[in-house]
């Protein structure tokens, strides 16, 4: 993973971006029952060529397997975000719900669809609702598992997209680490280039 990190960092740096950013996620998944999965989520984001804090986000999520191919999702995030140019911190809230379903699932790969509706409260631009649709592909059962995601978002009569690429490695039966790159299209028309990491613990439930 060390060589991968160097390659991704160089890749993100040389792209013609307004600002180099990074996004680091920490997730813990617990399965109290066969149908329920609970997640604790924490995310740290930097900007100004990876040098300054930009955003901290955290909160709980719940997944309920309604059917073998349909999982309901609900969650909440608290978000603390730096105000550009002043250094002050804006605090706001996001609640969301939706569902995800596998479109293709084999021992070697998965392709899933996720649909969410989100409500932002006390956001700097005011309260608003956002819809998002994501396709996520991942190679399975390999030492390094590549992944790719494509997501469309719509809020306040504006549409944007996000494209992500990277590699995931299973460090142990319960611990996964991913490193990647994300291209973000912002509502003002600019593009953001983001180096991403994701460390997550997955509880293995006894049958």
pLDDT at 17: 44
Joined together, the tokens standing for residue 198 give 């994701």
Q: Are 153 and 134 in contact (CB under 8 A)?
A: no
**pTM confidence score:** 0.88
Domain ranges within the chain, ordered by starting residue: 2-202
Among 1.10.10.60, 2.40.128.140, 2.60.40.1120, 3.30.365.10, what is the CATH number of 2-202? 2.40.128.140
Q: Report the alpha-carbon distance of residue 75 to residue 159 in Å, rounded.
A: 23
For 64-80, how does the pLDDT look when each residue is reduced to its tens digit (9 = 90+)? 999 999 999 999 999 99
Question: Does residue 29 register a pLDDT over 50?
Answer: yes
Q: Are 73 and 59 in contact (CB under 8 A)?
A: no
Q: How far is CA 165 from CA 5, 155, 198, in A?
A: 13, 24, 13
Direct distance between the N- and C-terminal alpha carbons of the chain, in angstroms, rounded to an integer:
32
Instruction: Give the pLDDT band of residue 88 (cuts 50, 70, 90).
Output: confident
Residues sharing a CB contact under 8 Å with residue 139, sequence separation 6 or more, in sequence order? 108, 109, 145, 146, 147
């Amino acid at each position: 993973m060390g060589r991968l990190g160097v390659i991704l960092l160089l890749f993100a740096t040389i792209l013609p971006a307004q600002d180099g950013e990074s996004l680091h996620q920490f997730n813990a998944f617990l399965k109290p029952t066969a149908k329920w999965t609970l997640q604790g989520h924490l995310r740290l984001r930097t900007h100004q060529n990876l040098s300054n804090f930009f955003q901290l986000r955290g909160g709980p999520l719940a997944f309920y397997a309604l059917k073998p191919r349909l999982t309901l999702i609900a969650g909440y995030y608290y978000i603390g975000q730096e105000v550009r140019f002043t250094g002050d911190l804006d605090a706001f809230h996001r609640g969301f719900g939706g569902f995800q379903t596998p479109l293709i699932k084999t021992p070697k790969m998965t392709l899933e669809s996720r649909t969410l509706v989100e409500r932002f409260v006390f956001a700097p631009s005011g309260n608003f609702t956002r819809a998002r649709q994501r396709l996520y592909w991942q190679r399975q059962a390999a030492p390094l598992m590549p992944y790719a995601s494509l997501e469309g978002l719509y809020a306040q009569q504006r549409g944007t997209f996000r494209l992500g690429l990277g590699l995931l490695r299973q460090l142990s039966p319960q611990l996964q680490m991913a490193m990647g790159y994300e291209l973000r299209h912002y509502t003002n028309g600019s593009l953001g280039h983001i180096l991403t990491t994701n460390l997550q613990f997955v509880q293995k439930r006894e049958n």
